Amino acid sequence: MTGPYLVADSNTQSVRYTLGTGPVAELAPPLKQITERQFGDSRAARRALLRGEIDAIDRVVPWDVAALESADGITVATYALPTVHVLIPNPRKPLTASRHFRRALCYGIHRQAILDEVILRGRSRPGFVVLSGPFPVGQSIDDPIGAAVDRRIAPYPYEPRLALILATVALREMAAAGAAQPAADATPAAKSDSAAGVTPPLVLAYRAEPLARLACEAIQAHLEIVDIPVTLKPLTAGDLADPLGTADLLYAELAMWEPLVDAQQLLGDGGLAGSTSAYMQLALRQVAEAQNWNELWDALRSVHRVAHDEVAVIPLWQTYNDLAYRSTLQGVGQQPVTLYQNVQRWTNSAPRGN
C-alpha cells in the first residue's frame, strides 16, 4: 500500500490502513480505511468475496477465474502486465552453484505440464507460456513488454534422462573438487549422500500462497522422478527479509517490467540471484552503457542469452494475474497495473467501517 494511507495496526492475518494527514491526504480519497486480509486457501477467499465479506481479491488463482467471471455482481479484471515465475538458486550452496546442476533442474521439471495441468487446469489463456529466460515475453511476438527477449532461444525441453546425467556430473565434479557437501551446516547423512553420488535433499522455499504451493508440490514430484529429492519450506513473516536464506532454491514471482533496472537487481552483483559471472557482468555493463534504444535492446537480449546459457535463474513460466471485485467497489479501472493504482478514485457503496 502506498500513497496517503498509513498502517494503523496489523497481525499475522491482516493489515489495516487508515488515511493519513498532511498535504497528500488533502486529495481526500473517499475511503478512509482499507483492510487487507490474508487467505491461505483460495476457496475461502472466493467464498468471502461472493458472500460480501470482502470487496476484492488481489491475484485470483487462475482456476477460480471462470467461476468468478460467471458470478453475479463480480467483475474480474486482468492486470496489464505479466508476472515472471522463476526458481532462484542459492549461490552459497555447492549444488545450486553448479551450472550442470541448474541445467539438470531445467531438464527435470516438466514446466509445460505444470502450467497446463496444475495452474491452468486444462484452460487456455493468452500470455501463459513457458519461458526461456528471466524476462517476460508478453502476449504476442510484437508485444513491447517482450523487447528484451531473444526469441530465437527456446525454453529448455523436458528431458528427464538428461537431467539425471547432468545431476550425476555435478555431483562427481563436486566430489573431485573436494567440495561434495551441500552446506557447512549439512547433516552427516547429507554429506555422505553427496560424496556417494546421491543428490542430498534440496530445500525449496516459497511464499505461503495457493498457486506457489501447488506449483512447488508439482516441481517436487517431477524432481523426485530424476532422483533429486526436494523438501518444501513455506516462508514465514520472519523469512521475508532474506527469503533465500539457507534454502537451496526460492520460488519467486517477479515483476520484470523495467528490464533496464530489473536485470541489474536480479542478475547483477548483490542482486536476488546473488552471484554474477564475468560474462553476465559484461552483458550488464553493455546495458548500462547503451547510447540509444537499439543498443539497449540488443544489450538486454545479450543478458537474456547469457542468463539462458548459464541458467542464472531457472525460468518457469509467465502468467497474467487477475483481480476480482464486487460491483459495489467503483473506480478500480479496466486493466490496472497494480491493485492500488487508482485507489484515490475508489468508492464503495457497501463500506465497512470507512
| Structure confidence by residue, pLDDT tens digits, 285-308 | 999 999 999 999 999 999 999 999
Beta strand spans in the chain (E):
5-10, 14-19, 33-37, 56-60, 74-78, 83-89, 129-130, 202-207, 230-235, 249-254, 314-319, 322-326, 329-330, 347-348
Q: pLDDT at position 276, please?
A: 80
pLDDT over 90 for what percent of the chain? 68
Phi-psi group of 245: left, alpha or beta (phi > 0 → left; psi -120 to 50 → alpha; rest → beta)? left
Could you tell me if 283 and 302 are in contact, meaning their C-beta atoms sit under 8 angstroms apart? yes
What's the average model confidence in pLDDT over 132-158?
Answer: 94
Q: Are 110 and 133 within 8 A, CB to CB?
A: no
Q: What is the pLDDT of residue 2?
A: 62
CB 135 within 8 A of CB 256: yes
The pLDDT of residue 5 = 84
Given a cut of 50, is residue 354 above it in pLDDT? no
Tell me which CATH homologous superfamily contains domain 5-79+321-348. Answer: Periplasmic binding protein-like II (3.40.190.10)
Q: Do domains 5-79+321-348 and 84-317 have the same CATH topology?
A: no
Which has more pLDDT, 52 or 176?
52
Percent of the chain with pLDDT over 70: 89
pLDDT digits 0-9 by tens, 225-277: 999 999 999 987 777 778 888 899 999 999 999 999 999 999 998 888 877 88
Question: How far, CA to CA in Å, does 291 sit from each of 166, 286, 294?
Answer: 40, 10, 8
Q: State the pLDDT at residue 22.
A: 62
4-18, 33-47, 221-235, 339-353, range with the lowest pLDDT: 339-353
Instruction: Write down the pLDDT at residue 181.
Output: 46
Question: Helix crossing, 278-288 with 259-267: angle to 10°?
Answer: 160
Buried b / exposed e over 159-192, threshold 16 CB at 10 Å, is: bbebbbebbbebbeebeeeeebbbbeebeeebee
Query: Does residue 16 surpass a pLDDT of 60?
Result: yes
Average pLDDT value for the chain: 89
Average pLDDT, stretch 43-51? 94
Size of the chain, expressed as the number of residues it contains? 354
Q: What is the pLDDT of residue 200?
A: 87
Q: Where are the domains of the chain?
A: 5-79+321-348, 84-317
Q: What's the confidence (pLDDT) of residue 352? A: 57
pLDDT reported for residue 156: 97
Q: Is the overall model pTM greater than 0.75, yes or no?
A: yes
Higher-scoring residue by pLDDT: 269, 136: 136
Q: Which of 130-134, 169-173, 243-247 has the lowest mean pLDDT?
A: 243-247
Q: Check residue 250 and give its pLDDT.
A: 96
pLDDT level of residue 180 (50, 70, 90 thresholds): very low
Q: CA 70, CA 204: separation in Å to the nearest integer? A: 36
- Which residues have CB under 8 Å from 80's CB, separation 6+? 335, 336, 337
Mean pLDDT, rounded, for 189-211: 76
- The CATH superfamily assigned to 84-317 is Dipeptide-binding Protein; Domain 3 (3.10.105.10)
What is the average per-residue pLDDT within 208-223? 95
pLDDT given for residue 344 in this prediction: 85
